[in-house]
Amino acid sequence: MTSLNWWREALQIYSRKPVVVIAFLGFAAGLPFLLVFSTLTAWLRDVGVERTAIGFFAWVGITYSVKVFWAPVVDRLSLPLLGRYLGQRRSWIVLGQLGIAAGLLLMSTLNPQQSLWLIALAALLVAFSSSTQDVALDAFRIESAEETLQGAMSAAYIFGYRLALLVAGAGALYIAEWGNWSLAYFCMAMLMGIGVLSVLWADEPAHQTRAERDASEAEMVDAVMGRPMHLAQRPRWQRWLLGAVICPLLEFFQRNGRFALLMLAFIALFRLSDITMGVMANPFYLDLGYSKAEIASVAKIFGFFMTIFGSALCGVLVVRFGIMRPLLLGAVMVAATNLLFAALAVAGSTGTPSLNWLALVISADNLSGGIASTAFVAYLSSLANRHYTATQYALFSSLMTLPGKFISGFSGWVVDGFGYSEFFTLAAILGLPAIVLVLVLMRHQRLRTV
């Protein structure tokens, strides 16, 4: 097979139905994120809210990082009506989408200068509903395709997700520039209908039967305890606790041994750098003197195409070279591009830099983000056992964002106290542990295959 034919066949995987479906569902997953993150911070800064208060709004995003606590419910509990017609995964996805739409509609009716606390509560509803949707959607994505398709599924998901970020970022900024912020959030709420239609088109993935699940969990618990537990004879709450909460953790640690702790540490640190800097990105652009329309045109639209290019490229690289090398490439690029933001901050200290400066920095940042995100999602997907996808992947994705979300809450304080250049340099340094841990994981993988 020639190299050209190989690339042509590799790209054809993006036309398969599970891959196309997950692109649309990725849009539904990505739409609410910026609306409680950087787009919200732009709204707050635009109406005069202090940067220190804006920084604390990053803690709303911690909801995404603690979803592991209700993931077992999403994994096991069947919704009374929706579950009967849509199935376990799709019913929870729709429920989350309806909560997102309701929260965005509420935000569209509020004024931050008069109701800042209500804005925070509405944003919390959006974040909670969005993270609940993510739990079911991540399980749906992993269960809907075989392992060889997970790189393409990851790239398609990132494509839809990033397209939604473009709409919720540039689209919302354009609407706010030409109309107002309330109209922008109302339009975003309406767009959640795309997610509902996508769920109706999608096929519910196959699951274990209850009998098969109970048998495997009883065997797993017996192996750990060293004696029969007779799960069927235990109270219902004990069976649920063991099966929904304990068994997913037992399975992960049994499969990976003590090295599982290092894997979890890597997951917690990989996105520390980009999450930390993300909350201050739009306030940074505004403080440099760029208009909302310029930010939308360069930082959102131009950056979107660079992200999609990086994501699609990484999806093919994963097929060709495996996950670990693209993962290392992404980790190095994410840390390095924060230094470009620091340089942009220095250039901005003498006046508003040119749009070419902004385009260069945004290009590098989004290209690296597309590669890193796609490789990382594929890596996390490879770690999850298909019998516990919702709970295990929720654990991984919670760890993925929790340190960054917590630290980013102090981002406004760092900028006010030291400046943007120092802040972005610190964000770059925070990316170094991820690079080291990728190298350790690559070495461990080589030793296991010898």
Q: What is the pLDDT of residues 242-253, one digit of tens each?
A: 666 677 777 788
Average pLDDT, the chain: 81
* Residue whose token pair is 């131009």: 302
Nearest to 368 by CA among 307, 313, 285: 307
The pLDDT value given to residue 32 = 93
Collect all residues with Cβ–Cβ distance below 8 Å to 221 and sequence separation of at least 6: 229, 231, 242, 246, 247, 250
Which sequence spans correspond to the domains of the chain?
15-199+240-449
The pLDDT value given to residue 223 = 53
Quick one: pLDDT band at residue 128, thresholds 50, 70, 90?
very high
The pLDDT value given to residue 122 = 92
DSSP type of residue 353: P
Rounded to whole angstroms, what are the CA distances from 62 to 57, 126, 373? 10, 12, 19
68-77, 157-166, 225-234: range with lowest mean pLDDT = 225-234
Q: Which run of H or E residues covers position 69?
A: none
Pick the CATH number of 15-199+240-449 from 3.90.1200.10, 1.20.1250.20, 2.120.10.30, 2.30.30.140: 1.20.1250.20
The pLDDT value given to residue 256 = 81
- Percent of the chain beyond pLDDT 90? 18
pLDDT score of 109 more than 70: yes
- Summarize the confidence of residues 259-279 as an average pLDDT: 85
pLDDT score of 94 more than 90: yes
Distance, in Å, from the CA atom of 222 to the CA atom of 226, rounded to the nearest integer, reads 6
Nearest to 263 by CA among 154, 399, 89, 361: 399
The pLDDT value given to residue 63 = 82
The pLDDT value given to residue 25 = 94
* Residue whose token pair is 């005069």: 48
Helices (H), 349-431: 355-383, 389-408, 411-418, 420-429
Q: Which residue has the higher pLDDT, 26 or 9?
A: 26
- Tokens, residue 86: 């849509």
Report whether 383 contacts 60 (CB < 8 A).
no
Q: Which residue has the higher pLDDT, 94 or 302?
A: 94
- Mutual angle of helices 17-35 and 150-166, in 10-degree steps: 40
The pLDDT value given to residue 210 = 62
pTM: 0.70
- Summarize the confidence of residues 129-146 as an average pLDDT: 87
Q: Which residue has the higher pLDDT, 245 or 37?
A: 37
pLDDT score of 209 more than 70: no
